[in-house]
Amino acid sequence: MEESEAFDVVLPPRVVVGGGATARAGTLAARMGIRRVLVVTDPGLREHVAVRAVADGLAAAGIAAAVFDGVQVDPTVGNVADGIEALASHGADGVVAVGGGSPIDAAKGIAALAVGEPDRDLIALAGFDKVGGRALPLIAVPTTAGSGSEMTRAAVIADPARQIKVPVYDDALLPAIALVDHRNTLTMPRQLTAEVGIDALVHAVEAMTSRAAFPVTDRFSLEAARLIGPNLVRVCEQPDDDAARAAMARGATLAGAAISNATIALVHGMARPLGAHFHVAHGAATGILLAPVVRFGLGATPERYAAIARAAGAAGDQHPDEEAGERLVDWIERLVAEIGIPRLGAQGIAPEAFAAALEPMADAALASNGPEFNCREASRDQIVAIYREAW
Ligand SMILES: [Fe+2]
């Protein structure tokens, strides 16, 4: 994008970042005039410190809360429908999402579909600006450092019956408030820490090299890479390192702001079909695909790959752009291995099933909005080749 062209920055009106931010949920909800809240989370988080802190804060502010914990990993249209039912039976006029990307994405769907015409199908509203702009107020409280969903106007919803995962983009899905409290991430298990952490790095790299990047998203991407680069291995190995967890939380939130405004590109376009066909976790899928997609794109924008490589610590100022890009690919491959994410071939996928799915997955990737924003255009054959390279 030309620097003189108009650009559009969409962010939540209030973002509170740092230790103790969770405790603000009650007072901030009350200030927005919310009286009854549906807390949306997943069954594994029911006893999580963040759910308790949110519930205590809401109670102290005189707000009646009900908890809906029916969100699964890769939330489905069914999860959203169940949440809307829970919301109606509680008479909630606001939603607080507590969790990783899945509960936050589901809560976005619940808050948006709860107003307007009944019985709308989120899958039918996939794409840009079809939801209608209105929603109940949503407060997002991430318990992972990765998805960045608290900063975005996107939700990815799965329809298991059709083996699809589709992104829905609409201002109605943007949280009113994000409470980014790294203390909520201190108990995150290692594998989840690794998967969501690498996804945050992918957001920074994809946003930096997206065709829709602009100077504001560049600052977010570079700062995110600077925070995530040296800290991802650290949080995997020292889960209680408060400073490293704080850096990852800030980095993931900035990367979310970057990707939401500069849009996802080829890695995300290709990752979703892997999730839909083989249930590869989102962060594992994007992490595995990152190195081959960067290698594919290097020549298209060497200076941007070099900038992100230097910010992340994969290359130094002494390395010319081309070399910095190559170092970035090597660094990503080592990083993904070091944090314990196996290649696609070691993800328990049957080789014949993978071979049979290659072309449908490439078609699904091409049908998403990702590839059109990639710095280098990819053909169907090239996408198939990248999937094979990631095996
Ligand atoms: Fe992602």
CATH number at residue 219: 1.20.1090.10
Query: Any bridge partners for residue 94, and if so which?
Result: 37
Q: Which amino acid is at 42?
A: D
Q: Ligand 1 center to residue 172 CA distance, Å? A: 20
Q: Are residues 289 and 153 in the same domain?
A: no
Rounding to the nearest 10 degrees, give the CA dihedral for residues 103, 76, 212, 384.
Answer: 130
215: confidence class by pLDDT, cuts 50, 70, 90: very high
Q: Ligand 1 center to residue 168 CA distance, Å? A: 14
Q: Are residues 157 and 30 in the same domain?
A: yes
121: confidence class by pLDDT, cuts 50, 70, 90: confident
pLDDT digits (tens, 9 = 90+) for 26-66: 999 999 999 999 999 999 999 999 999 999 999 999 999 99
Q: Are residues 293 and 227 in the same domain?
A: yes
| 1 within some domain | no
Whole-number pLDDT of residue 4: 76
Residue 213 has pLDDT above 80, yes or no: yes
Q: What domain count does the chain have?
A: 2
Q: Ligand 1 center to residue 199 CA distance, Å? A: 5
How many other C-beta atoms can be found within 10 angstroms of the C-beta atom of residue 341?
A: 22
| 9 within some domain | no
CATH number, domain of 55, equals: 3.40.50.1970
1: confidence class by pLDDT, cuts 50, 70, 90: low
122: confidence class by pLDDT, cuts 50, 70, 90: confident
Interior/surface letters 207-221, b for 16+ CB within 10 angstroms, e for the rest: bbbbbbbbebbbebb
Residue 371 has pLDDT above 90, yes or no: no
Q: Are residues 239 and 90 in the same domain?
A: no
| 7 within some domain | no
pLDDT digits (tens, 9 = 90+) for 252-308: 999 999 999 999 899 999 999 998 899 999 999 999 999 999 999 999 999 999 999
Q: Ligand 1 center to residue 293 CA distance, Å? A: 14
The whole-angstrom separation of Cα 158 and Cα 49 is: 28
Poorest-confidence range of 17-21, 122-126, 292-296, 334-338?
A: 122-126
Q: Which of 185, 209, 231 is the last residue of a domain?
A: 185
| 152 within some domain | yes
Pairing relation of β-strands 36-40 and 94-99? parallel
Q: Ligand 1 center to residue 382 CA distance, Å? A: 21
Q: Ligand 1 center to residue 202 CA distance, Å? A: 7
* Protein residues within 5 Å, CB atom, of ion ligand 1: 199
Q: Ligand 1 center to residue 374 CA distance, Å? A: 15
Do the beta carbons of residue 112 and residue 130 sit within 8 Å? no
Q: Are residues 365 and 226 in the same domain?
A: yes
Q: Are residues 171 and 199 in the same domain?
A: no
Tokens of 147: 């998805």
| 4 within some domain | no
Q: Which residues span the domain enclosing 106?
A: 14-185
Q: Are residues 153 and 268 in the same domain?
A: no
Average pLDDT value for the chain = 95
Give the residue-averaged pLDDT of 137-158. 96
Centroid of chain to Cα 18: 19
The whole-angstrom separation of Cα 117 and Cα 110 is: 13
Q: Ligand 1 center to residue 255 CA distance, Å? A: 10
The whole-angstrom separation of Cα 162 and Cα 279 is: 14
Q: What is the enclosing helix (H) or strand (E) of 233?
A: helix 232-237
Q: Are residues 128 and 201 in the same domain?
A: no
How many Cα atoms are found within 13 Å in the side-chain-facing hemisphere of 35?
Answer: 2
Do the beta carbons of residue 145 and residue 251 sit within 8 Å? yes
| 320 within some domain | yes
| 5 within some domain | no
Residue 105 has pLDDT above 70, yes or no: yes
Q: 3-state class of 38 per DSSP?
A: strand
Q: Ligand 1 center to residue 183 CA distance, Å? A: 22
282-297 vs 380-390: helix axis angle to the nearest 10?
A: 120
Whole-number pLDDT of residue 166: 83
pLDDT digits (tens, 9 = 90+) for 63-81: 999 999 999 998 999 999 9
Q: Are residues 21 and 90 in the same domain?
A: yes
190-209 vs 266-278: helix axis angle to the nearest 10?
A: 140
Q: Are residues 202 and 345 in the same domain?
A: yes
Which residues fall within 8 angstroms of residue 304, CB to CB, at 6 or more apart?
A: 208, 209, 213, 375
Whole-number pLDDT of residue 160: 86
Residue 118 has pLDDT above 80, yes or no: no
Q: Are residues 173 and 199 in the same domain?
A: no
124: confidence class by pLDDT, cuts 50, 70, 90: confident
Give the residue-averaged pLDDT of 154-158. 92
Q: Which of 185, 210, 225 is the last residue of a domain?
A: 185
Q: Which of 147, 168, 185 is the last residue of a domain?
A: 185
Give the ranges where 321-391 is alpha helix by DSSP (H).
321-338, 351-367, 380-390
Q: Ligand 1 center to residue 105 CA distance, Å? A: 12
Q: Ligand 1 center to residue 46 CA distance, Å? A: 24
| 372 within some domain | yes
Q: Ligand 1 center to residue 89 CA distance, Å? A: 33
DSSP3 helix / strand / coil % (the chain, rounded to 5): 60, 10, 30
Q: Ligand 1 center to residue 156 CA distance, Å? A: 10
Phi, psi for residue 341 in degrees, rounded to 5: -100, 110
The whole-angstrom separation of Cα 278 and Cα 280 is: 5
Give the residue-averaged pLDDT of 356-380. 92
Q: Are residues 223 and 241 in the same domain?
A: yes
